[in-house]
């Protein structure tokens, strides 16, 4: 699929992967609708892109139903889309019982409910042939201690992508699930960065992840897992989950220490 002159709504454009992807898409000739909450960051990104006049900033908090409705309205007024990229996301590295109900709700909403609802609203405005790319994660297929809520959201997004893709088979619309591993952006807290260093977990640059996302879009790759050994671990976990249960049980005390977990803590409200 060529991205030249294609209209792309990119959520989370102000973030690390989002802004790197915006640069790649703009170089490929796409017309971008850049969504995020931070208008200053979005305007700064816009000013850096080639052909600034072809792109627009659409600032909105996607957790706010009215701002989401206004975003959909703006897309309609602009005449629709060729590509919809659900990239906005959030996570907390914490044991389940160390998280407030609000933190749990926010993660599930932004990582899962928002992409489902936005897709429902925007489907009639997606031209055929077109693409929906859902930004997943290796943790959407590998349950990892300290990320139970995030894993639930991304695993849900994976199931949604697969089912919707099958629902839309033959329509000209493809639904892609694209799953990076740890990527060096502000998304990861200092504790996560330290944990990855301590365990020797590999991390990628947002620029490389964006390059791979562009390839996935151009080739309409339905499922793409990034990184070695993560893409092997995803398959191993599907076939032999007991292997990963045992490997992660050996790391559990270290992970709990970096997550700041202690069994005596009270559950926050
Ligand atoms: N970094 C990683 O290690 C990693 C690994 C695998 C998958 N991913 C996935 O990749 C995607 C992008 O991650 P990233 O590393 O680029 O994260 P990031 O740098 O933290 O950026 C997150 C983006 O989401 C936007 N966002 C957050 N809350 C929002 C809300 N309520 N409404 C609207 N937008 C909101 C942020 O907008 P503002 O800044 O304007 O508020 C920002 O543009 C996420 O879906 C993440 O799950 C990341």
97-108: pLDDT as tens digits: 999 999 999 999
Tokens representing 247?
């490997």
Give the structural domain span for 38. Answer: 7-258
Query: What are φ and ψ of residue 126, in 5° steps?
Result: -95, 120
How remote is the CA of residue 181 from the centroid of ligand 1, in Å?
A: 14
Query: Using only C-alpha atoms, what is the Rg of the chain?
Result: 19
Tokens representing 51?
């052909």
Residue 264 domain-assigned (yes or no): no
d(CA 1, CA 18): 20
Strand partners, 126: 81
Per the CB < 8 A criterion, the answer to whether 201 and 12 are in contact is no
Query: What are φ and ψ of residue 183, in 5° steps?
Result: -130, 140
Does the CB atom of residue 110 touch ligand 1 within 6 A?
yes
Query: In Å, what is the CA distance from 146 to each residue of 1, 101, 150, 242?
Result: 38, 16, 9, 19
How much is the pLDDT for 69?
97
d(CA 49, CA 247): 44
Q: Count of domains in the chain?
A: 1
Per-residue pLDDT of the chain (269 residues; tens, 9 = 90+): 899 999 999 999 999 999 999 999 999 999 999 999 999 999 999 999 999 999 999 999 999 999 999 999 999 999 999 999 999 999 999 999 999 999 999 999 999 999 999 999 999 999 999 999 999 999 999 999 999 999 999 999 999 999 999 999 999 999 999 999 999 999 999 999 999 999 999 999 999 999 999 999 999 999 999 999 999 999 999 999 999 999 999 999 999 999 999 888 888 98
Residue 263 domain-assigned (yes or no): no
d(CA 205, CA 48): 19
How remote is the CA of residue 17 from the centroid of ligand 1, in Å?
A: 7
Whichever domain contains 198, its CATH number is 3.40.50.720
Tokens representing 142?
């590998």
Does 150 participate in catalysis according to the annotation?
yes
How much is the pLDDT for 115?
98
d(CA 196, CA 188): 10
How remote is the CA of residue 109 from the centroid of ligand 1, in Å?
A: 13
| E strand map for 136-208 | 173-179
Ligand 1 atom with minimal separation from the 13 CA:
43
Ligand 1 atom with minimal separation from the 135 CA:
45
How much is the pLDDT for 264?
80
How remote is the CA of residue 178 from the centroid of ligand 1, in Å?
A: 14
Residue 266 domain-assigned (yes or no): no
Residue 109 domain-assigned (yes or no): yes
141 upstream amide cis, omega within 30 of 0? no
d(CA 18, CA 238): 29
Tokens representing 55?
């792109």
Ligand 1 atom 8: the closest Cα is on which residue? 137
Catalytic residue among 139, 144, 147, 150: 150
d(CA 9, CA 87): 10
Residue 265 domain-assigned (yes or no): no
Ligand 1 pocket test, candidate residues 13, 15, 91, most atoms within 8 A of CB: 15
3-state helix, strand, coil in the chain (%, to 5): 50, 15, 30
């Amino acid at each position: 699929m060529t991205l030249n002159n294609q209209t792309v709504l990119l959520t989370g454009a102000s973030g690390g992967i989002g802004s790197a992807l915006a640069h790649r898409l703009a170089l490929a000739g796409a017309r971008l609708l850049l969504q995020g909450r931070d208008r200053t960051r979005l305007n700064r990104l816009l000013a850096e892109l080639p052909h600034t006049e072809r792109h627009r900033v659409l600032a909105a908090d996607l957790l706010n139903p009215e701002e989401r409705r206004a975003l959909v309205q703006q897309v309609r007024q602009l005449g629709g889309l060729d590509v919809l990229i659900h990239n906005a996301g959030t996570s907390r590295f914490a044991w389940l019982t160390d998280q407030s109900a609000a933190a749990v709700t926010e993660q599930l909403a932004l990582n899962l409910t928002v992409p489902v609802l936005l897709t429902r609203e925007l489907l009639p405005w997606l031209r055929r042939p077109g693409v929906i790319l859902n930004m997943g994660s290796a943790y959407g297929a590998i349950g990892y201690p300290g990320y139970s809520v995030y894993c639930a959201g991304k695993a849900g997004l994976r199931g949604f992508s697969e089912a919707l893709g099958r629902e839309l088979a033959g329509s000209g619309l493809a639904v892609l699930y694209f799953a990076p591993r740890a990527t060096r952006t502000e998304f990861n807290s200092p504790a996560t960065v330290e944990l990855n260093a301590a365990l020797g977990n590999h991390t990628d640059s947002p620029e490389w992840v964006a390059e791979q996302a562009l390839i996935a879009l151009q080739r309409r790759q339905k499922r793409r897992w990034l990184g070695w050994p993560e893409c092997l671990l995803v398959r191993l976990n599907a076939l032999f989950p007991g292997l990963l249960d045992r490997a992660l049980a050996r790391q559990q005390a270290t992970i709990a220490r970096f997550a700041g977990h202690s069994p005596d803590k009270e559950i926050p409200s």
